[in-house]
């Protein structure tokens, strides 16, 4: 008799566990943990961005983003762009969202007031720092945006905040997409960013007759947490989610091909006379281990941002690299001897990184370029004179290989 009772208790416990699992839909890698790097979505998440554009970033560390993670070491960074393209990621859920059910989902969000990258329309370095929103889609395949489940207001705080959403799918879905998007209803494309971390399980709720998120967004009068959670001025219940805008696809920058040296004949980057870097005119005259100073690359004092005056020489370097696909280089930053070692190491590294990021944003493959800050350890002149200090605070190209990586 006792054996039967024990078996019944075990079965009841198993049933409870199974039901509890059905009530929680788990995400793979909900805190977006991975090695910090740009243009690479975190493990467990699939890039759902647009053709010709770079994927989202594992932050912090790229494009001047420095916020500390809420959970773990890294988080997801996504941007919107001024050419009507935006970033998104998706994944297959552990179990399906069931149509007609009500679910609760939480995630921490913020934005960075520094997100330095290249504008797709002007080809100039700009800050992608306008606030954007998060949109949550459901579908039946990777990147399938079949139904808009939830939409936040503009995320404009530079400190992490937890957002709660109510999800009420009309049909069954197995996939979810998290998307950065512009301020609406009037869509005007701009450069913005959003950071995401520490997402919760998607939890089944017994009732869905109360709004979980009652925040009134001053500048964003749309859906903030599910298709039935509306904040409008004046209130007005929509009959269906706003349709996704039809993006105007830009002409993408051709990625750096590993073995294709001939660039397009009409490429404006290649046509950059007069020649600034004569040393790069003939690859046969270059040797492995050779160091070449980058000319006309004059950073402002204590600054590492690329300005417009630097574009001609950097575009020339990019054209050289693309025309010679086996060349691998290091970008090295150097300073004069006046500041402290700690500061010199930091500044020289940031300047070398800025040059590297510029070339990578143009399409140069990551495997063909690296950067390093040498600080004040390798002076080429005295730091006792203004002219000597100017020579020492330089950025150089070091030829690591002429035969590929």
Q: What is the CATH number of the domain that holds 334?
A: 3.30.1330.60
As a whole number of angstroms, the distance between CA 299 and CA 395 comes to 10
Flag whether 221 is in a domain.
Answer: no
Name the pTM for this structure.
Answer: 0.51
204 contacts: CB under 8 Å, gap ≥ 6: 22, 23, 24, 25, 101, 102, 103
163 with 312, same domain: the answer is no
| Residue-number span of the structural domain to which 362 is assigned | 278-401
Report pLDDT for 78: 96
As a whole number of angstroms, the distance between CA 236 and CA 251 comes to 39
As a whole number of angstroms, the distance between CA 56 and CA 81 comes to 12
83 with 199, same domain: the answer is yes
Flag whether 283 is in a domain.
Answer: yes
Confidence band, pLDDT 50/70/90 cuts, at residue 7: low
194 with 312, same domain: the answer is no
200 with 285, same domain: the answer is no
201 with 349, same domain: the answer is no
Flag whether 219 is in a domain.
Answer: no
Question: Of 149, 130, 142, which is closest to residue 82 (Cα–Cα)?
Answer: 130
Flag whether 314 is in a domain.
Answer: yes
Kindly state the average pLDDT of the residues 343-363: 93
Strand, coil or helix: 71: coil
| pLDDT over threshold 80, residue 400 | yes
102 compared with 211, residue with greater pLDDT: 102
**Cβ atoms 127, 115 nearer than 8 A:** yes
* pLDDT-wise least confident of 196-200, 207-211, 234-238: 234-238
Flag whether 1 is in a domain.
Answer: no
Question: Of 326, 311, 393, 404, which is closest to residue 358 (Cα–Cα)?
Answer: 311
Confidence band, pLDDT 50/70/90 cuts, at residue 368: very high
Flag whether 181 is in a domain.
Answer: yes
Task: Work out the percent of the chain whose per-residue pLDDT is above 70.
Answer: 78
CATH code for the domain in which residue 170 is found: 2.60.120.260
Say which DSSP state 155 is in.
Answer: B
| pLDDT over threshold 90, residue 95 | yes
Report pLDDT for 17: 42
Please tell me whether the peptide bond between 60 and the residue prior to it is cis, using omega within 30 degrees of 0.
Answer: yes
68 compared with 124, residue with greater pLDDT: 68
303 with 390, same domain: the answer is yes
229-287 pLDDT, tens digit per residue, is 322 333 444 445 545 555 555 545 445 544 444 444 444 444 445 789 999 989 999 99
196 with 284, same domain: the answer is no
Highest mean pLDDT (candidates 14-23, 53-62, 173-182, 186-195) = 173-182
As a whole number of angstroms, the distance between CA 332 and CA 395 comes to 6
CB count, 10 Å around CB of 285? 10
As a whole number of angstroms, the distance between CA 338 and CA 323 comes to 39
* pLDDT-wise least confident of 102-116, 192-206, 214-228, 359-373: 214-228
**Is the torsion defined by CA of 198, 204, 205, 207 positive or negative?**
positive
302 with 394, same domain: the answer is yes
Flag whether 10 is in a domain.
Answer: no
Strand, coil or helix: 178: strand
As a whole number of angstroms, the distance between CA 192 and CA 115 comes to 8
**Cβ atoms 368, 402 nearer than 8 A:** no
Flag whether 5 is in a domain.
Answer: no
338-351 pLDDT, tens digit per residue, is 888 888 899 999 99
The chain-wide mean pLDDT, for the chain, equals 82
Among 205, 222, 252, identify where a domain stops.
205
**Cβ atoms 315, 359 nearer than 8 A:** no
123 with 27, same domain: the answer is yes
Report pLDDT for 118: 82
Among 160, 185, 205, identify where a domain stops.
205
Among 205, 231, 251, identify where a domain stops.
205
Domain count, the chain: 2
Report pLDDT for 176: 96
Kindly state the average pLDDT of the residues 297-313: 89
As a whole number of angstroms, the distance between CA 366 and CA 377 comes to 26
Give the ranges where 47-146 is alpha helix by DSSP (H). Answer: none
Report pLDDT for 317: 95
Report pLDDT for 9: 55
146 with 282, same domain: the answer is no
Burial of 131 from C-beta contacts in 10 A (0-12 / 13-18 / 19+): buried
195 with 311, same domain: the answer is no
Report pLDDT for 207: 76
320 with 199, same domain: the answer is no
């Amino acid at each position: 008799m006792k054996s039967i009772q024990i078996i019944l208790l075990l079965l009841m416990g198993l049933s409870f566990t199974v039901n509890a699992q059905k009530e929680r839909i788990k995400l793979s890698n909900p805190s977006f943990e991975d090695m910090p790097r740009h243009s690479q979505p975190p493990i467990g998440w699939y890039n759902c961005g647009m053709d010709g554009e770079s994927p989202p970033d594992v932050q912090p560390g790229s494009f001047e983003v420095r916020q500390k993670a809420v959970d773990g070491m890294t988080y997801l960074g996504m941007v919107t762009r001024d050419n009507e393209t935006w970033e998104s990621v998706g994944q297959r859920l552990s179990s399906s969202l069931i149509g007609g059910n009500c679910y609760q989902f939480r995630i921490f969000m913020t934005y960075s007031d520094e997100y330095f990258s290249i504008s797709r329309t002007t080809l100039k370095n700009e800050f992608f720092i306008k606030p954007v929103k998060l949109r949550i889609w459901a579908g039946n395949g990777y990147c399938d945006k079949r139904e808009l489940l939830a939409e936040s207001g503009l995320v404009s705080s530079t400190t992490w905040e937890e957002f709660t959403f109510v999800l009420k799918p009309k049909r069954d879905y197995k996939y979810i997409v998290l998307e950065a998007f512009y301020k609406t209803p009037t869509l005007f494309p701009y450069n913005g960013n959003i950071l995401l971390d520490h997402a919760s399980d998607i939890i089944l709720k017994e009732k869905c007759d109360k709004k979980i998120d009652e925040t009134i967004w001053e500048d964003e009068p749309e859906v903030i947490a599910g298709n039935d959670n509306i904040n409008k001025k004046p209130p007005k219940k929509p009959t269906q989610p706003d349709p996704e805008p039809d993006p105007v696809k830009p002409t993408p920058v051709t990625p750096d091909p590993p073995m294709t040296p001939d660039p397009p004949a009409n490429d404006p980057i290649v046509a950059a006379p007069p020649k600034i870097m004569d040393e790069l005119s003939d690859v046969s005259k270059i040797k492995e281990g050779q160091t070449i100073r980058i000319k006309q690359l004059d950073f402002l004092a204590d600054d590492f941002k690329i300005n417009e005056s630097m574009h001609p020489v950097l575009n020339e370097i990019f054209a050289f690299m693309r025309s010679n696909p086996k060349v691998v280089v290091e970008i090295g930053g150097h300073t004069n001897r006046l500041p402290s070692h700690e500061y010199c190491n930091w500044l020289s590294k940031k300047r070398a990184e800025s040059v590297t990021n510029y070339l990578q944003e143009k399409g140069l493959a990551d495997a063909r370029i690296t950067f390093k800050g040498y600080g004040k350890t390798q002076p080429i002149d005295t730091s006792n004179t203004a002219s000597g200090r100017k020579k020492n605070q330089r950025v150089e190209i070091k030829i690591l290989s002429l035969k590929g990586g």
